[in-house]
Amino acid sequence: MKWFGGSFAHLALAGLLFSGVAFGQAPSTAHPPTKLDKHARKIQRKLTKYQNGRYLHLVLNDDSDAYGALGTLSDASFSFTNADSNTVSTYNYSQVSRVKSDKEPIGAGTEPRRHIRHLIPIVVGAAAVGAGAAVYQAER
CATH number of 32-131: 2.30.30.100
Query: How crowded is residue 37: how many other Cβ atoms within 10 Å of its Cβ?
Result: 13
| Mean pLDDT value across residues 36-45 | 88
Task: Please give the Cα distance from 12 to 7 (Å, whole number).
Answer: 9
Q: What share of the chain is helix, strand, coil (3-state, %, to 5)?
A: 45, 25, 30
Instruction: Convert the pLDDT of each residue in 83-128 to its tens digit.
Output: 989 999 999 999 999 999 866 656 666 666 666 777 788 888 889 9
| pTM of this structure | 0.49
CB distance 86 to 94 below 8 Å: no
